[in-house]
Structure 1
Amino acid sequence: MLWEWLCVLFKVPVFVLPKPSDIAAQILKDRWLLWQHFQFTLKNVIFGFFLAFVVAMILGFLVSHVRLINRAIYPLLVASQTIPVIAIAPVFIIWFGYGILPKVITTALICFFPLTINTITGFTSVDPEIKTLFRAYNGGWFQTFTKLTLPSALPFIMSGLKISATLSVIGGVIGEWIGSEMGLGYLIIQAGAQIQTARLFGAITVLAFMGILLFLAASLLERLVTPWREAHRA
């Protein structure tokens, strides 16, 4: 309401800062265009997010269970975050062209680190006294992993999943900025170049909506796979 009122009061031009009502009207006008670009971006984001999840689970398990891999890989994981993804994204265009793969890899790289670190933290946070109890009752490695280690790690993994769900939208947009002819990131670049500010804000609003949807989906998955946490909160 304040945004709307200030734009009217100071007679701010639409191309400088559109009112929320202008943005809503533009979204309604561009609904089919936004829907097409939304689908394209969402596909890239989901594929990249899934790739990051699979790699993070495998690497997180190995780093937390094999000491040699921990010493060799963990410092590289931390060091990899000092390189901005947007700086190396053009390399993926050179290697893989302008198809879906560079966008998926860019999304996966942005989602990868929080997922991996939370997975490692989860697998290494098991109470040692309970582990000793499992050994005392002749619990095998598989039983210990499925009934103790994995359930203990799941809250951490789900936290990483929720963080990465919102970050994945950033990865998808960066991939489209570097090279694409479709997607909400591409639409933002085009709208900015043509000074269509209301359309630009409309695309940003739809991106925010996508991020919220992915976060809610991750939260729902968390409730399904860790029902004991909800019972404990209640």
Structure 2
Amino acid sequence: MTRARADEPGLGIIAPLLLLLVLVLGWWATTSFTGVEAWRLPSPGAVAVRGVDLLSQAWMWQRIGVTAGEALLGCILGVAAALPLSWLIHRSRVVAAAVEPFLGATQALPAIALAPLLVLWIGYGTWAIAALCALMVFFPILVSTVLGLRHLDPEVMEAAELDGAQGWTLVWRMEAPLAAPSILAGLRTGFTLSVTGAVVGEMVMGGEGLGQVLVQARTSVDTASMFVTILVLCAMATSVFVMVRQVERRARTDLRPSKNRS
């Protein structure tokens, strides 16, 4: 019996939509039949109405753009730090032995606890928030890339080195393309965390993005606006997740013929 795969054509679209439908129906039933107050849990209809109202405002789109820009900048900074270090860990046993014991310790520190330090070192504003995002995305990208490099086919790499591929040539022509699926998987997780980091940074360190919309909605007990903002954030993260996932699948597909030839 063939096991169903999540990447089968149509399944990746139909299954999430069905789950979304079930969640929305459960949400509607809860607000319709349990008597829960609207300020605690607004109905799907109320959130939809508030969403149309907010998304028709230019300032809301400006806030979305600010948060997206901070998340993207943080992701770029995290990638710029994680990829070179992952290559050094892969290539140097000394670097691996020195760095790897501390990587787990860095994840024990909650990102929000670093926000005050970032304010002291960098100040308020975009760069401090982007730095917080970079810290959040650094670890998953690093781990995923290191695993991808360590699982490269030794025979393929040896053949490339015998053909004269050395240094950066080996990195760009062999290691990076072959490890691309793992790198993209790290990016997929990383950008999602970067959106979270941007919102947390705005709520803690100030800013002009969606984090401030959440703060203002919480202050005025505007639960519907909070739901709309959270749904917008989910849509942002999901959109990038899906796009990177498609690139990742394409990279895996492109690698299959070369493996068969080898």
CA deviation map 1:38-64 (0-9, x unaligned): 111011001001111111111111111
Matched, 1:122 2:180: no
- Structure 2: segments with no counterpart, 5+ residues: 1-24
> 2:81 maps to what in 1?
55
Percent of residue pairs identical: 30
Counterpart-to-counterpart distance in 2, 1:134 and 1:182: 50
Distance in 1, Cα, partners of 2:125 & 2:27: 39
Superposition TM-score, scaled by structure 1 size: 0.90
Matched ranges for 1:44-123 at <5 A: 44-123=70-149
1:43–1:95 distance in 2 versus 1, CA, 3 Å: same
**Which residue is equivalent to 1:14?**
38
Determine helix, strand or coil for the equivalent of 1:30: helix
**In the alignment, residue 170 of structure 1 is paired with which amino acid?**
T
1:4 equivalenced with 2:28 (yes/no): yes
Shift in Å, 1:201: 0.7
Q: Which letter maps to 2:60? A: L
Output one character per residue of 1:170-216: Cα deviation in whole Å (capped at 9) or x when no partner.
Answer: 11111111121411111112211211111111111111111111212
Cα distance change of structure 1 residues 11 and 129 upon mapping to structure 2, 3 Å threshold: same
Aligned-residue RMSD, C-alpha:
2.1
Q: How far, CA to CA, are the matches of 2:30 and 2:132 in structure 1?
A: 38
CA contact (8 A) 1:27 1:34 kept: no
Aligned to 1:210: 236
Q: Which residue of 2 aligns with 1:27?
A: 51
The alignment of Structure 1 onto Structure 2 pairs a total of residues equal to 231
The TM-score with structure 2 as length reference comes to 0.81
Stretches (4+) displaced over 4 A: 223-227, 229-232
Structure 1, unmatched stretches of 5+, are none
**Amino acid in structure 2 at the alignment position of 1:4:** W
| Residue pair 1:89, 1:106 contacting (<8 A) in 2 also | yes
Which stretch of the first structure deviates more once superposed, 17-26 or 90-99?
90-99
